[in-house]
Amino acid sequence: MNTSNAAGYLLGALLCTRAIAMAGAFRVMVIGVWACVLALVLCAVMQQFVALNIARGLAGVGGGLAFVAGGVLAAHIAHRNPEHGALYLGLFYAGPGLGIFLSGITVPMVLALFGAGSWRIAWVALTALSLVMSVLLMCGKVAEASTPETGKGRVDRQPFGLKMLWLLAGYLLFGAGYIAYMTFMIAWVRDGGGGAGFQAAFWAAIGAAAMTSPWVCARPLKQLQHGHAFALLVGVTAIGAALPLASGANIVLFLSAVIFGAAFFAVVASTTVFVRRNLPPAHWASAIGALTVAFGAGQMLGPVATGMITDHTGGLAGGLWASVLMLFAACISGLFQRDFAEDASGATRD
């Protein structure tokens, strides 16, 4: 079902650029958000395997639309506020951290309170939380640039994919590596003896740490050029993912959650910062969409590949090792990425 979700996310990312051109980024983000809410409702009422996979796929499509369109809006907000641009981008990408924090507290507690068969109640609780957030979203309207994607910017539309090749490859590997950690760590914590309380604390720690990333990571996002911010933040994420392999102690697992959480959504922000620095606003939607497609492909392949490795090795450590190695490979790929804006001296200043 994680793979179905990732496949939907990939489809949403593929459709998003055209959808933004037709309806505007804010409308596309709203459509994506409500698709996710509908998917949660379906998960609460469905019980067949195929139906659940369809619901998870719908959640992925909605997530892809909302994340790309929201990233474009965040980039425009940062562009209009250059002094704090990196902070504003970080705030948008830290938003999912709040969702992880709330779900990390809610789901284990519901399952512990109502029993192992109470997954419907957990989905209902998540639906209620998402409805509140979705209504809050509808209370605001983000002004967005109306510049059409005419290809008149400093960089032609076709070549920029090749010029971002190292970043695209690194982002694909990051998508595969991070989702493997997120997929297997609760099982790792449970198998290590962690009860519902510690599972909730672990997941909430990832979310809470992600919410701090705008302040923790604003400086490298603003100051580092080329793919160096991406490489640094992926490297920190890899270190966080590797810690459970060194020790299964609760304090080490908790430290892993904090380090991983503080860095992994900042990695996503670093790709948008790179796009802002190297491309004119007319090409932001296409570039962010292309990066999200690479990320989505990694998310789709990661659970399958690491699941096969885990089955072959007979333990969760094999899947976690695969996650760590893919993250370090993504870090190395980011080191090779160079800025390509023609006016590098002016364009690289936030």
| Amino acid type, 261 | G
The verdict on residue 157 lying in a domain is: no
The verdict on residue 40 lying in a domain is: yes
Q: What is the pLDDT of residue 334?
A: 96
For residue 314, what are the contacts with CB-CB under 8 A and spacing of at least 6?
none
Task: Let me know the angle formed at the C-alpha of 176 by 175 and 178, rounded to the nearest 5 degrees.
Answer: 65
Domain count, the chain: 1
User: What separation in angstroms does the CA of 179 have from each of 86, 134, 228?
Assistant: 25, 25, 22
Within 10 Å of residue 313's Cβ, how many Cβ atoms? Answer: 13
The verdict on residue 179 lying in a domain is: yes
Q: Is the pTM of this model over 0.85?
A: no
Rounded to whole angstroms, the Cα distance separating 203 from 105 reads: 7
Within 10 Å of residue 204's Cβ, how many Cβ atoms? Answer: 20
The verdict on residue 253 lying in a domain is: yes
The verdict on residue 145 lying in a domain is: no
The CATH number of the domain holding residue 12 is: 1.20.1250.20
111: domain range? 2-138+163-341
Kindly report, residue by residue over 276-290, the tens digit of the pLDDT: 899 888 888 888 888
CB 297, CB 13: distance < 8 Å: no
Q: What is the pLDDT of residue 122?
A: 92
Per-residue pLDDT of the chain (350 residues; tens, 9 = 90+): 877 888 898 899 889 888 998 998 899 999 999 999 999 999 999 888 999 999 999 999 999 999 889 888 888 888 888 877 777 777 887 888 888 889 888 888 888 888 878 889 999 999 999 999 898 888 766 555 444 443 344 444 446 668 899 999 999 999 999 988 887 887 888 887 777 788 888 888 999 998 888 888 888 888 899 999 999 999 999 999 999 999 888 899 999 999 999 998 889 889 988 998 998 888 888 888 889 889 888 888 887 888 788 788 777 788 888 899 999 999 999 999 999 864 444 444 44
Place of tokens 């990408």: 93
Rounded to whole angstroms, the Cα distance separating 153 from 252 reads: 48
The verdict on residue 348 lying in a domain is: no
The verdict on residue 204 lying in a domain is: yes
292: left (phi over 0), alpha (psi -120 to 50) or beta: alpha
Rounded to whole angstroms, the Cα distance separating 150 from 156 reads: 10
The verdict on residue 151 lying in a domain is: no
